[in-house]
Amino acid sequence: MKPVLFALPGNEALAGALSRCSGWEEGSWELRAFPDGESHVRFVSEVAGREVILVCSLDRPDEKVVRLWLAACVARELGAARVGLVAPYLAYLRQDARFRPGEGVTARHFARLLGAAVDWLVTVDPHLHRIRSLGEVYAIATRVVPAAPPIAQWIRAHVTAPVVVGPDEESAQWAAEVAAAAGCPWTTLRKTRRGDRDVEVSVPRLEQWQGRTAVLVDDIASTGKTMMAAAARIRAAGMAPPVCIAVHALFAGTAHQDLLDAGVGAVVSTTTVAHVSNRIDLAEPIAAAAGALLAGGAGAQSA
């Protein structure tokens, strides 16, 4: 029997795209909340003996995780051969250190929770800094889909004379990869974050890029403050309004509109988090990564 995909709410478009490019069945199920707010999960499509794939991007994870956990547990209870998770945005990885006394490395705790629920995981550009690979915190098989090649392809098709600008020095390797594939120069900003919504950036020697369009590429846009601060610097240097590309369009509250109002040229994102700014479709590489894990059988390793 074919693998069967189930979309958690908000992930229907991605699950449909995955089904179209892989041939996997889109499963039918009932998900609803009881009057008291608890979740009810009922699989209508057969899952016994099958590869089950749950599709659930983990932006705003606290609202989603109980339902996802229950869905995975019920699929196993009903005899699924394996349960995999396609979570194009993987939450909690920014909390990868004890920044202040009394905090915890919640990235590890979250990984334990997800790792207990599913057998494998596919994600896109996880936010890895102090934790250097998913294998450090996830004990299950994982695959990471790089967003750089499709982003570079989009830049080539839509921006004349671009210069890729990474948000901070940690992004140098990534900005370089996007720029190399797009065939253009790149630079990075220097970022100082003073609080959740207080970011300052400096952009070294911007004058050399006069006549080019800055393409700000960041893995996450949350408050949008990083992109807004960078865009202001770019405009102050007399350059054209920058194009902003986020891999993961989290956009808290009014952040997306705030960024548009800040006078940027365009705001574009990949399809890892369903959002009005989605322009760069990642269904094919995500399906390929999930297919590789399915082909690897029970002992599939991380890559």
Task: Give the residue numbers marked as catalytic.
Answer: 191
Question: Distance between CA 152 and CA 157 in Å, rounded?
Answer: 9
Query: What track of x and - describes contact with ligand R5P for positions 154 through 183 (by CB under 6 A)?
Result: -------------x----------------
CA 167, 170, 172: angle at the middle one, nearest 5?
Answer: 75
Binder of ligand R5P out of 222, 270, 272, 277 (CB under 6 A)? 222
Q: Which two tokens stand for residue 154?
A: 């989009």
Question: Distance between CA 98 and CA 198 in Å, rounded?
Answer: 20
Question: Distance between CA 245 and CA 263 in Å, rounded?
Answer: 14
For tokens 């956009």, name the residue.
251
**Contact assessment for residue 27 and residue 45, using Cβ atoms and an 8 Å cutoff:** yes
- Report how far apart, in Å, the C-alpha atoms of 160 and of each of 49, 141, 147 are: 51, 40, 21
148 is an interface residue for ligand R5P by CB under 6 A? no
Least Å distance, CB 171 to ligand R5P, is 7
Nearer to ligand R5P, 84 or 167 (CB): 167
Provide the angle, in degrees to the nearest 10, between the axes of the packed helices 283-295 and 12-22.
60
Least Å distance, CB 191 to ligand R5P, is 7
Nearer to ligand R5P, 112 or 197 (CB): 197
Binder of ligand R5P out of 199, 244, 262, 282 (CB under 6 A)? 199
Least Å distance, CB 224 to ligand R5P, is 5
219 is an interface residue for ligand R5P by CB under 6 A? yes
Task: Tell me the three state secondary structure of residue 287.
Answer: helix
> Which one of the spans 79-87, 155-163, 180-188, 220-228 is the region binding ligand R5P (CB under 6 A)?
220-228
Question: Distance between CA 298 and CA 242 in Å, rounded?
Answer: 46
Least Å distance, CB 250 to ligand R5P, is 7
**Contact assessment for residue 90 and residue 272, using Cβ atoms and an 8 Å cutoff:** no
215 is an interface residue for ligand R5P by CB under 6 A? no
59 is an interface residue for ligand R5P by CB under 6 A? no
β-partners of residue 220 are 248
Binder of ligand R5P out of 64, 82, 225, 233 (CB under 6 A)? 225
51 is an interface residue for ligand R5P by CB under 6 A? no
| Interface residues toward ligand R5P, by CB under 6 A | 167, 199, 218-226
